[in-house]
Structure 1
Amino acid sequence: MKKQRSFKEKTFGILYLVPTPIGNLEDMTFRSVKTLQTVDLIASEDTRNTQKLLNHFDINVPQKSLHEHNYKERVPQFIELLQAGKSIAQVSDAGMPSISDPGHELVVACIAAEIAVVALPGPTAGLTALIASGLTPQPNYFYGFLKRKKKEQLEELTSLAYQKATMIFYESPYRLGATIENMMTVFGPERQAVVCRELTKIHEEYLRGTLAELHAYLAETPVKGECCLMVAGATEEAPPAEIVGTIIEQVDALVAEGIKPNVAIKEVAKKNGLKKQVVYNDYHGLNGV
Structure 2
Amino acid sequence: MSSVQSGCLWVVATPIGHRDDFSARAIATLREVAVIAAEDTRHSKPLLLHHNIATPLIALHEHNEREVVEGIVRRLRGGESVALISDAGTPLISDPGFRLVRAARAAGVRCAPVPGACAAIAALSVAGLPSDRFVFEGFLPPKSAARRARLQELAGEPRTLIFYESSHRVAESLADMRSVFGDEREAVLARELTKLFETVIGEPLGQLAERVAGDPDQQRGECVLLVAGRGEEADAKLAEGQRVFAVLREELPPAKAAKLAAAITGAPRKELYRSE
Shorter-chain TM-score tier: 0.7 to 0.9
Find the counterpart in structure 2 of residue 226 from structure 1.
Answer: 222
1:122-160 CA distances to partner (integer Å, 9 max, x unpaired)? 000111111111111211111111011111111111111
Task: Tell me whether 1:148 sits opposite 2:171 in the alignment.
Answer: no
Determine which of 89, 94, 107 is the counterpart of 1:100: 94
Find the counterpart in structure 2 of residue 21 from structure 1.
Answer: 15
- Aligned letter for 2:269? K
Distance 1:52 1:204, change over 3 A: same
Displacement, 1:55? 0.7
The 5-angstrom pairing of residues 53-132 of structure 1 reads 53-132=47-126
Equivalent-residue separation in structure 1 for 2:152 and 2:233 (angstroms): 14
- Aligned letter for 1:265? A
Contact 2:182 2:268 in 1 (8 A): no
Task: Tell me whether 1:138 sits opposite 2:132 in the alignment.
Answer: yes
Find the counterpart in structure 1 of residue 205 from structure 2.
Answer: 211
- Aligned letter for 1:75? V
SS of residue paired to 1:27: coil
- Aligned letter for 2:178? M
Task: Tell me whether 1:195 sits opposite 2:186 in the alignment.
Answer: no
Equivalent-residue separation in structure 2 for 1:58 and 1:273 (angstroms): 58
Gaps of 5+ in 1: 1-6, 284-289
TM-score (norm 1): 0.84
Distance 1:281 1:131, change over 3 A: farther
Find the counterpart in structure 2 of residue 3 from structure 1.
Answer: none
- Aligned letter for 2:19? L
Distance 1:127 1:74, change over 3 A: same
Displacement, 1:202? 1.4
1:81-131 CA distances to partner (integer Å, 9 max, x unpaired)? 001001110000000100011111101111111111111110001111111
Contact 1:139 1:166 in 2 (8 A): yes
Equivalent-residue separation in structure 2 for 1:54 and 1:199 (angstroms): 20
Displacement, 1:250? 5.5
Displacement, 1:274? 5.1
Determine which of 268, 271, 276 is the counterpart of 1:278: 271
Displacement, 1:169? 0.7
Task: Tell me whether 1:264 sits opposite 2:257 in the alignment.
Answer: yes
Contact 1:14 1:87 in 2 (8 A): yes
- Aligned letter for 1:278? E
TM-score (norm 2): 0.88
Distance 1:92 1:108, change over 3 A: same
Contact 2:36 2:85 in 1 (8 A): yes
Displacement, 1:275? 4.1
Distance 1:201 1:270, change over 3 A: closer
The 5-angstrom pairing of residues 36-55 of structure 1 reads 36-55=30-49
Contact 1:186 1:281 in 2 (8 A): no
Q: Percent identity?
A: 41
Contact 1:42 1:89 in 2 (8 A): yes
Equivalent-residue separation in structure 2 for 1:136 and 1:279 (angstroms): 27
Equivalent-residue separation in structure 2 for 1:271 and 1:196 (angstroms): 34
The 5-angstrom pairing of residues 227-242 of structure 1 reads 227-236=223-232
Displacement, 1:236? 4.1
Displacement, 1:266? 3.0
Displacement, 1:262? 3.1
RMSD: 2.6
Equivalent-residue separation in structure 2 for 1:226 and 1:274 (angstroms): 33
